[in-house]
Amino acid sequence: MSTAIPGPDGRLRCPWGLSTADYVDYHDTEWGRPVHGDDALYERLCLEAFQSGLSWITILRRREGFRRAFADFRIAKVAAFTDEDAARLLTDESIIRNRAKIQATIANARVLADWAPGELDELIWSYAPDPATRPAPRTLADVPPVTDESTALSKALKKRGLRFIGPTTAYALMQACGLVDDHLADCVARGSRTP
């Protein structure tokens, strides 16, 4: 059933948000809260792509390594990465050393570097569903892995030249960046998203 469960402080949380101290902090202070800004959204796009096939805790615990390796996810800086930078990243143990994901991260920065300021933010947020159409999930089984909006967002990003952003990754991005509020109905963090 996986309904909200009490944490050490007695407050109800989504079950996944209690499995480690890292998750408690991420769940309570970041996941599901609105993220704006091209560089900030680019970081989340990249991290969600790196997470594909792995557990989120693996990415979360390497987040600072990713930030160092990818110039704090500054689009303009990553767009200027060379083949030597890509080779360096393949030896960097502080990140996930996946050639296809590293290449996609750099290629996506090069695509985004040609966009107008705020264009990525505007595009991503244009796919946020009306919160009134989404009932609060009561259990984890009520949370979908993909939605019509995430499928449409994935298609729009791919059409514009971005890689490694399928509908499931797009939905994880929407959840993480507050486009949707998938905290369970009884979760203490439910409603932390502001429209």
CB 39 within 8 A of CB 25: no
Mean pLDDT of the chain: 95
- With pLDDT > 70 as the criterion, what percentage of the chain qualifies? 97
How many CB atoms within 10 Å of residue 195?
8
Residue-level pLDDT at 193 = 55
Q: In angstroms, rounded to a whole number, what is the distance separating the alpha carbons of residues 165 and 150? A: 10
Greater model confidence, 29 or 192 = 29
The verdict on whether 127 is a catalytic residue reads no
Catalytic choice (23, 31, 48, 171): 48
Q: Confidence band (pLDDT; 50, 70, 90) for 146?
A: very high
Catalytic choice (26, 31, 127, 171): 26
- Digit-coded pLDDT (tens) for 41-91: 999 999 999 999 999 999 999 999 999 999 999 999 999 999 999 999 999
Q: In angstroms, rounded to a whole number, what is the distance separating the alpha carbons of residues 96 and 130? A: 35
Catalytic choice (16, 56, 115, 125): 56
Q: In angstroms, rounded to a whole number, what is the distance separating the alpha carbons of residues 177 and 41? A: 8
Question: Which two structure tokens, joined as six digits, stand for 116?
Answer: 């107008």
Residue-level pLDDT at 1 = 59
pLDDT higher than 60, residue 124: yes
Q: In angstroms, rounded to a whole number, what is the distance separating the alpha carbons of residues 165 and 155? A: 9
pLDDT (average), residues 1-29: 91
The verdict on whether 48 is a catalytic residue reads yes
- With pLDDT > 90 as the criterion, what percentage of the chain qualifies? 94
The verdict on whether 31 is a catalytic residue reads no
pLDDT higher than 90, residue 191: no
